Amino acid sequence: MEGSKDQIVDVGSVVEALSAEDDDVPIYEVESLCMRCGENGTTRLMLTQIPHFRKILLSAFDCPHCGERNNEVQFAGELQPRGCCYTLKFPAGDTKMLNRQVVKSESTTIKIPELDFEIPPEAQRGSLSTVEGILTRAAEGLEALQEERKKVDPNTAEAIDQFLLKLRACATANFSFTFVLDDPAGNSFIENPYAPSPDPSLSLKFYERTPEQQAALGYVADTPQIGESVEAVTGTENHAIHQIAREPHGAVGARAGRQAIAQGNTAEFVEAICRYTAPEEVMTFPTTCGTCSSRCETRMFVTNIPYFKEVIVMASTCDACGYRNSELKPGGSISEKAKRTTVIIKNVKDLSRDVIKSDSASVKIPEIDLELASGTLGGMVTTIEGLVTKICENLERLHGFTDGDSLDEEQKKKWIDFKTRLNKLLSLEECWTLILDDALANSFIAPVTDDIKDDSQLTYEEYERTWEQNEEFGLNDMDTSSADAAYNN
């Protein structure tokens, strides 16, 4: 467990700062080898939880022989379904932004594009720090062997000295720069002091992990080894094709399809989907598990939701790793226009309206100044009540540091006040408005009347997508003229 001396910290003091009410958490001591002097020191371990964030394992090493001390943060919980990438833009002269708290997991890569600078995962271990602390440790790490470099390679040492001036300028807010934190595990975090409102300087994107990232995180990936002959790889592929052909697949009855969907998700999802349809048959086909790369089975059926569109319901289960997933995908072509759906919530019946929220939809509640960008909650099938509950849980998980000594009283009061207002939405003390703005028009709120025209509380508005929206979804470069011509012929 190597680390810099500026990370000196006592495990007990860290936990007290994070979770003051957890006094009975045990601290474990393990005899460990000191990497500096070769003698034995002591490592203290404690499992705790950052309020509204994740479970973490704190470790602190202390060597009584040479005085070496360092600490580390590791995540004790599960990996998140998707990776996350935070982008924080720093204007010159704003030193207050450097105090933003950062949770960095051991799989995180940090970049500063303006300097062409990158901190790989192995360079800095998992830590609980600030932006300034991370940049300062990076500068000290580069400077550590400068005296030796000057003797061996003066030109390289001089170039590093010039680079250190720029890096320290970033750490003291004398230089405008962009701080990018990319974590395939999805366990890293940058504080948003404006939470629950959006931060104009901070953006967050979720993404699907690549096979290489899955392998680096410990997932099993069946990839050909370097040096294998083309014939061997081709033979393996042919064998796999024959294996697929022998897999039983085809159509199963509606009952089996409903059971498959229920295995992959909650009863709420099943009730919402099967309320509109009773599929006569469900198609099944063999696939590869996206988590462990093992063979698994996916079941699918197509249905048409009234007043919405044709949708595809898919459910996958993996017996090898236990991964289960159900999702709803829009069918048909991409809508020519974006759609904004607005509903006024007045009574308990409105809270029970079914909601289909796609990945491309943003959520707004003007009464409490809440706005969630597209992709924040992912795609889901739920009710309005379930959506508000998910929003509350997601904000607490993502924004973190909403309790304990790490938050000043003013911010703590602000967050508690927002949670109170968010919970009041479900108690219906007053009317409020829910807006789903979907650039691909793949989201839907169900009416409470037999005819959607009779539902005066529900309105739909179509509008032209902007160039930036089309660019985000790859529509500006999409050319379907040849396909349209072949289809028309």
pLDDT of res. 274: 55
CA distance 44 to 61: 6
Judged against a pLDDT cut of 50, whether residue 141 lies above it is answered with yes
Task: Indicate whether 270 belongs to any domain.
Answer: yes
Residue 325: how many other CB atoms lie within 10 Å: 17
Q: How far apart are CA 103 and CA 100, in angstroms?
A: 10
Confirm whether 478 is domain-assigned: no
> Hey, CA dihedral for 93, 99, 100, 102, is it positive or negative?
positive
Least confident among 112-116, 151-155, 394-398, 436-440: 394-398
Q: Dump pLDDT digits (tens) for 30-48.
A: 888 898 888 999 988 887 7
Residue 89 sits in the same domain as residue 212? yes
Express each pLDDT in 117-129 by its tens digit.
999 888 777 777 8
From 50-64, 147-161, 254-268, the region with the lowest mean pLDDT: 254-268
Same domain (yes/no): 357, 458:
yes
Same domain, 357 and 457: yes
Question: CATH number of the domain that 344 lies in?
Answer: 2.60.120.1040
Give per-residue pLDDT as tens, 349-358: 899 898 888 8
Look up residue 335 and give its two tokens. 């809508």
Q: Which amino acid is at 26?
A: P
Given this model, what pLDDT does residue 457 score? 92
Cα distances (angstroms) measured from residue 94 to each of 167, 169, 175, 181, 471 = 16, 12, 10, 19, 32
d(CA 273, CA 252) in angstroms, rounded, equals 18
Amino acid at 54: R
My answer on whether 249 and 284 are in the same domain is: yes
Mean pLDDT in the chain? 75
Lowest-pLDDT choice from 117-131, 211-225, 365-379 = 211-225
Cα dist. 432→367, 371, 421, 428, 448 in Å?
Answer: 6, 14, 11, 8, 17
The whole-number pLDDT of residue 226 equals 38
Of 54-68, 96-110, 408-422, which gets the smallest average pLDDT?
408-422
Q: pLDDT class for 75, splitting at 50, 70, 90?
A: low
Write the CATH number for 68.
Answer: 2.20.25.420
Is residue 224, in this structure, part of any structural domain at all? Answer: no
Range of the domain at 37: 5-75
The pTM of this model reads 0.53
Check whether 228 has a pLDDT greater than 60. Answer: no
Domain count of the fold of the chain? 4
Whether 103 and 39 share a structural domain: no
pLDDT at 469: 83
- Clarify whether residues 349 and 239 are in a common domain: no
Torsion angle of alpha carbons 13, 14, 17, 22, nearest 10°? -80
Say if residue 409 is in the same domain as residue 342.
Answer: yes
Q: Lowest mean pLDDT: which of 51-55, 308-312, 356-360?
A: 51-55
Q: Tell me the percentage of the chain whose pLDDT exceeds 90.
A: 13
Q: Which long-range contacts (CB under 8 A, 24 or more apart) does 197-204 make?
A: 197/369, 197/370, 197/371, 198/371, 198/373, 201/88, 201/89, 201/90, 201/91, 201/97, 202/86, 202/87, 202/88, 202/89, 203/86, 203/87, 203/373, 204/84, 204/85, 204/86, 204/87, 204/373, 204/376, 204/398
**Last residue of some domain: 30, 50, 75?**
75
Q: 346 and 438 share a domain?
A: yes
